[in-house]
């Protein structure tokens, strides 16, 4: 009896792990890192665009001559259209990060996942005039239904190998410790809703370069197409 209970608890833990961990590859094939024998890394920003911090982040990226990827929430585009256009115009990669980024996203059925993702695609397309091929699920969640939806939509799912936890930090200095182990091949997850991000990037990017790391776009790191 006790063995059956242990096995059932083990299965349950595995299913939860597979759902909340984008690196698990159980329900959704996600690319979470590049070739670690290279000295290249990519940086990514989720949850924008926003009119508080995104523009300053773009400024810091431009100053340091750095190309990044922005995973856009469809509903955040309204009122921030020029910021999204500027992001794409400045050569950054634009990906889909769902339309609603809703709480309970993981309980969607296949049709709901498809509708939500397509709605974000249309909003992004209307501004950047091209169709993103890259998708990152909210909260790094993956479910069997989401896996089927994203496969049907022919999108490439991008995860991360370094999660900076920037949204939980209060001070810029705390972020250094979170990304200190970054190495070749890594995909780093940041958010453009983090107030001190722009300032951090202007210090951290030159430090990466001094350490021999080259920050490149996801297309170059992973040798993939970002637009249809
Ligand atoms: Zn998000």
pLDDT in tens, 102-144: 988 889 999 999 999 999 999 999 999 999 999 999 998 889 9
Ligand 1 centre distance from Cα of residue 163 (Å): 12
CATH number at residue 134: 3.20.20.370
Ligand 1 centre distance from Cα of residue 210 (Å): 30
Ligand 1 centre distance from Cα of residue 162 (Å): 15
Query: Does residue 17 lie within any of the structural domains?
Result: yes
Residues 136-159, mean pLDDT to the nearest whole number: 94
Ligand 1 centre distance from Cα of residue 98 (Å): 9
Ligand 1 centre distance from Cα of residue 49 (Å): 11
pLDDT confidence band for 214 (50 / 70 / 90)? very high
Query: Does residue 177 lie within any of the structural domains?
Result: yes
Q: Which pLDDT score is estimated for 87?
A: 98
Least confident span in 34-43, 122-131, 139-148, 189-198: 139-148
Ligand 1 centre distance from Cα of residue 4 (Å): 37
Q: Which chain residues have CB less than 5 Å from ligand 1, an ion? A: 46-47, 138
Query: Does residue 94 lie within any of the structural domains?
Result: yes
Least confident span in 12-16, 46-50, 93-97, 127-131: 12-16
Q: Which pLDDT score is estimated for 164?
A: 94
**Domain range for 106:** 2-222
Asked whether the predicted pLDDT for residue 17 surpasses 80, the reply is: no
Ligand 1 centre distance from Cα of residue 1 (Å): 42
Q: Which pLDDT score is estimated for 105?
A: 87
pTM of the predicted model as reported, rounded to 2 decimal places = 0.94
Residues 141-158, mean pLDDT to the nearest whole number: 94
Query: Does residue 29 lie within any of the structural domains?
Result: yes
Q: Which pLDDT score is estimated for 166?
A: 94
Query: Does residue 227 lie within any of the structural domains?
Result: no
Asked whether the predicted pLDDT for residue 10 surpasses 90, the reply is: no
Ligand 1 centre distance from Cα of residue 131 (Å): 20
Helical pair 110-128 and 144-152, crossing angle rounded to 10 deg: 40
Q: Check if the beta carbon of residue 99 is closer than 8 Å to that of residue 71.
A: no
Number of compact structural domains in the chain: 1
């Amino acid at each position: 009896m006790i063995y059956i209970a242990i096995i059932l608890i083990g299965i349950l833990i595995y299913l939860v792990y597979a759902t909340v961990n984008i690196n698990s590859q159980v329900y959704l094939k996600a690319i979470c890192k590049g070739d670690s024998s290279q000295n290249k890394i990519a940086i990514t920003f989720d949850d924008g665009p926003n009119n508080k911090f995104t523009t300053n982040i773009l400024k810091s990226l431009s100053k340091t001559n750095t190309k990044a990827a922005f995973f856009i929430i469809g509903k955040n585009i309204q009122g921030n259209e020029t910021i999204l256009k500027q992001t794409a115009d400045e050569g950054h990669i634009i990906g889909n990060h769902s339309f609603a980024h809703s709480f309970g996203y993981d309980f969607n059925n296949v049709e709901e996942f498809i509708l939500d993702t397509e709605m974000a695609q249309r909003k992004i397309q209307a501004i950047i005039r091209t169709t993103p091929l890259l998708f990152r699920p909210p909260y790094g969640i993956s479910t069997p239904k989401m896996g089927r939806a994203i496969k049907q939509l022919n999108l490439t799912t991008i995860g991360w190998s370094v999660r900076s936890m920037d949204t939980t930090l209060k001070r810029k200095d705390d972020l250094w410790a979170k990304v200190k182990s970054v190495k070749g091949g890594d995909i780093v997850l940041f958010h453009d809703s983090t107030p001190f991000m722009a300032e951090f990037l202007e210090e951290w990017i030159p430090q990466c370069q001094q350490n021999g790391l080259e920050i490149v776009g996801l297309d170059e790191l992973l040798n993939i197409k970002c637009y249809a």
